[in-house]
Amino acid sequence: MNAEDLLQRLRELAIVPVIEIEYADDAIPLGKTLVDAGLPVAEITFRTPVAADAIARMVDNVPGLLVGAGTILSEEDVDAAADAGAHFIVSPGLNASVVERARQRSIPIIPGVTSPSEIEAARSLGLRLLKLFPAEAIGGIPLVKALSAPYPDVSFMPTGGITADTVSAWLAQPSVAACGGSWIATKDAVTGRRWEEITTKAGQAAELAASSPRSHTAGTRA
C-alpha cells in the first residue's frame, strides 16, 4: 500500500479505532469484531509489549482489516511494525529519522504535527497526510480550519480527545481524511473481551462515517 492508496482508504473508512492491547490473544477476536461491525480498520498502539504480535495476528488472520501501528517513536519501532506486516504506521510527532526508516521499509507513515512549522517540515519530507495530535487540546476544529488555508495540499487525521459526539463535526472539514478515536474499543473493553459493546460502538462509528458529508467527496483532496 502506498501513501495515495492509504489516503483513499482512510477517507472511505473515516474513523480509525485507536487501540491498546494488553493480551495478544485478544487481537484476532477484536479484529473480527471490527470487520463484522462494518469498521474494518485498527491502529494498534505500541504502548504494550504485545503490540507487534497483535498486529501480526490481525494481519495474518483477519481478511479485509486495515491494520496500522501507532505510537511509533523510533527506527526500531518502525522495523517491528513492518516485520509484523502493518499496513501503515502513525507517530505522535515528526521525527525525520523515523520517517526515513519508514521510507526505507516501504511503509506509509502518518506523523503527528501541531503547528505550521511542523507541517512545513513534513511537506519538505514529501508527506501530505499528517496526524493532528492532540487534536482537541491544541485548538480543535478552529485550528484545523486555520491550518488548512495555507496548506491546501495537506490532509489531516486528527486524534486526541475526539468522541462519538464530536467526530461528525471533524469529518465535515474537507481537509480531514479520517479521525482517530479511542472510544470505540477502550482498553478496559478489550481486556474484558466485551465484544458486543465494541460491536455496537464500531457499528455506530461506521454509521457516523457513512452519514458524514465528507464521505461523498472521498479522495478529492490531494
Between 67 and 213, whose confidence is greater? 67
Mean pLDDT, rounded, for 115-137: 98
Q: Are 47 and 77 in contact (CB under 8 A)?
A: no
pLDDT tens profile 43-96: 999 999 999 999 999 999 999 999 999 999 999 999 999 999 999 999 999 999
pLDDT of residue 142: 98
pLDDT of residue 220: 41
215 pLDDT above the threshold of 60: no
Mean pLDDT, rounded, for 86-107: 98
pLDDT of residue 181: 96
151 pLDDT above the threshold of 90: yes
pLDDT tens profile 168-182: 999 999 999 999 999
190 pLDDT above the threshold of 80: yes
H/E stretch holding 98? helix 96-104
pLDDT of residue 214: 59
Mean pLDDT, rounded, for 183-199: 98
218 pLDDT above the threshold of 80: no
High-pLDDT (> 90) share of the chain, %: 95
pLDDT tens profile 128-139: 999 999 999 999
DSSP-derived secondary structure for 149-208: TT-TT-EEEEBSS--TTTHHHHHTSTTB--EEESSSS-HHHHHTT-HHHHHHHHHHHHHH
Mean pLDDT, rounded, for 26-44: 98
Which residues form the catalytic set? 43, 131
Q: How far apart are CA 162 and CA 134, in angstroms?
A: 9
217 pLDDT above the threshold of 80: no
pLDDT of residue 212: 84
pLDDT of residue 213: 74
